[in-house]
Amino acid sequence: MELFGLFMIVFLIVIIVLLLAFNIIIVPQAHEYIIEFLGKYEKTWGAGLHIKIPLLERVASKVSLKEQVLDFEPQHVITKDNVGISVDSVVFCKVFNSKDFTYGVENALTGLENLSATTLRSILGEMDLDNALSGRDQINARMEKVLDESTDPWGLKVTRVELKNIDPPREIAEAMSKQMKAEREKRQTVLEAQAHQESVITRAEGDKKAKVLAAEAECEAQAKIAEGKAEAIKKVYDAEAAGIRMLREAGIDESVLRLKSIEALKDVADGNATKIFMPADISNIVSTAGVIGETLGIGSPAAEKPKTEDPAPEDPCCDDEEE
């Protein structure tokens, strides 16, 4: 009897341990568990240790709160100008309400995929091909706004939408390639023309500046030359004035000046000139000095030779008569 009682105690302990082992639940970080009591929503468990009531409570759903990247299949879309293109999009979303995510829609991610496809067709159907290719940011913003508003009842938050690829038909792609090549050649021609124009203008401006600088240099040179000549003339007159001042300070009288004039006149007479023009004051000096004639050898009696007269021709008639 004692053994049976001991066995029952051990059995109950084992049952309790098993029940605790199967009903102690640890919720990981960034996850939430939806708990139902007798098939009805009761509460939401966050990260940590939790104990479930056996047979009465159950985990209805395990929800991840991490941001999810949903890469959907490429969609065939027809643009406003009737061009069929293939568009590949990526949607980023995360769960912000685990209860709405579990009970709001049967399969939230599948519903988001279908909603993304229909929204993409609706937006691109209002745009032509060129706008669709150049307006990716606009398309992304419009899709994000529409999907976020539509998935709020599902407990989903659409954080971002990106268009991966927009593939037009092959013939459209070839035409676009030719158009792009023509546009690039046009830009190249325009840029070369602008560069040539700027080069010509720069060269002309350089020549203009060079001529202006040359003219300024020539003007400065002429000014320097004129200043040099003026300085030289000034120095000559300063020297003459200094000489006159020195003569006055030395006490030179009029007789000395007359003597110097006579010496200068002698030097002039020693030349080969046959005529001498003298100023009136010099001739007065010569007339008053008695020795000037001898000094110069001009106008003295010895210097003048008497003029001899030619003998008269004989008269032949008289000769005959004498005979």
Q: pLDDT digits over 119-176, tens only?
A: 999 998 888 888 888 888 899 999 999 999 999 999 999 999 998 888 888 887 787 7
- Rounded to whole angstroms, the Cα distance separating 145 from 161 reads 9
pLDDT confidence bin for 29, thresholds 50/70/90: very high
Q: Which of the 8 DSSP states describes residue 30?
A: T
Residue 180 has pLDDT above 90, yes or no: no
Nearest Cα neighbor of 49 from 26, 19, 22, 79 is 26
What's the chain's Rg over C-alpha atoms?
A: 66
Start-to-end CA span in the chain (Å): 235
Pairing between β-strand 31-37 and β-strand 40-45 as defined by DSSP bridges:
antiparallel
Q: How many CA atoms lie within 13 A of 186 on its CB side?
A: 6
| Pair of tokens at residue 75 | 């969609």
* % of the chain beyond a pLDDT of 90: 18
51 vs 323, residue with greater confidence = 51
Report whether 262 contacts 294 (CB < 8 A): no
Is 272's pLDDT higher than 70?
A: no
Looking at the domain 68-168, which fold is it? Answer: Tetrahydropterin Synthase; Chain A (3.30.479)
Residue 289 CB: number of other CB atoms within 10 A? 14
Q: Write down the domain spans for the chain.
A: 2-64, 68-168, 170-234
Q: What was the pLDDT predicted at 268? A: 55
If pLDDT is split at 50, 70 and 90, which confidence band does 291 have? very low
